[in-house]
Structure 1
């Protein structure tokens, strides 16, 4: 599923439509009725980790922006550049480690079945993206290659919202759930927030379980996905199965630094039209010329994720030498500028 930097870019595509009314709808979703959005007003949009939240109201009103992460200092300098994402799968996927944001209120989440907001109550739509899920603004996704049957069919959007200003949004491969109350977000766990709490993250990483499991736990690293996991571990010179309890605090701090730096750089590149460069993810050889190992790793009975690492650059620690392995040649300290989003 799309990771934090991609979802922040989707948020940027949605933001210009805030304050506009939905005048036409479409889409192939079987779990919600797109017509239920007809005549609603998009009043706010928020993002946290891998989830996007959209507030719809039946009446027009002037609202102040909510928790808009793109107002943070680093994002002010980024350029908006339309995303180009290909829809290749209609199968939804969930992120391991639990939800990174939940709605408040007693009614919880429920699917949209064509109902509309009642009596002026604000309503929030939570959008969770599946594998290769995306949002397109004022254009539709187009097929770049034939499918397994040899058809060059364009992906079909789950939801299309046309607005009074003349533009439209198309949502692909995503799940949407509906709440009558505001989302409760936890910026202290969001790796792209200025409020990201490094102490909380370090405490979680210091547990006895392998660090590659902890990194995907959205309670502490919201927005972090498989690409960021692989790249941060390689840059820190840490074997993915190393128990955090065997790593010294300097090593754990370096790992968190690389998580933040890589994520911030990835997001910055998206708004500058640059493709993200990876050093280990889906590679056969590491930058030092060593052969890369690929294996599906995950907690027993839990979700297994493909993991790439270099046995030479990321040696596995033994129980009797928890802090005696020097950082590998593949590890690089992130620059001060790259750590602008590291927070407390």
Structure 2
């Protein structure tokens, strides 16, 4: 790593974001959210078909249709970031987010029944039933992240194949692709031990098929307190950590961000109960302590462990200084915040010179 200290990477889901970030001086992509690519109008029906599939064959057929789209997305990102690392997070949100709104669909079904319209009614009714089947009491802590990968491994297997086919194609064209595959929401090392070897096998198979080699890493997001506390074990499998500081803050405080910001957080800051909104500036005494523990314990197991953050705190100067002090390699923020983050990283390096 360069001696100038903390690097600034950017969060980018599309090649145009990556190009903008690079023009502002970002030297990597710290977070590409693959699910955003699923929401595009041409793809959403295929995604829904994949979710509703009653058999592996039907699911695989839908995933085979999605693969070229994902491959093209990743090809664009690697091309834009030629020579720089690109961290791609595998599917994270709960599946209901990809489905139509339940209340709206129910209204449509009721209206059709009242009017006696039968064309398309059966399809809407079965869709409604499927959406109800996906309902969770607390989706944020439910079937998402790595749990979804364990439950439905075909999805992430398709994503990893798309990532490595794109990286191989780029390499053969002379573009230096550096994919880093991020498994989200790990809470126990055994989750990684279950899913990561399956994905690594696909990575190696693609490189053998294409007869090409390029550097790559598999790592995880640290956003559950248990992952931070057991970082040494997790670093035995993961080659990099990325702190998802938004979720890590929610789970450490026991706050739901939306509810907290809407209800009591403003008063907490006004009354001095909290010094700042912990979703804007990192809580160094609590969340920060978990981060420091994870960095130290992780590197005790893997000396060259790459560590960064990709939550909104990546663009906040006070949080950036803290990341410098605990030994992060990079912070990742939105492309527009890259210039501010670079300045803050330089100031942190000067201030904390030993």
TM range, normalised to the smaller chain? under 0.3
When normalised by structure 1's length, the TM-score is 0.27
Structure with bigger helix share is 2
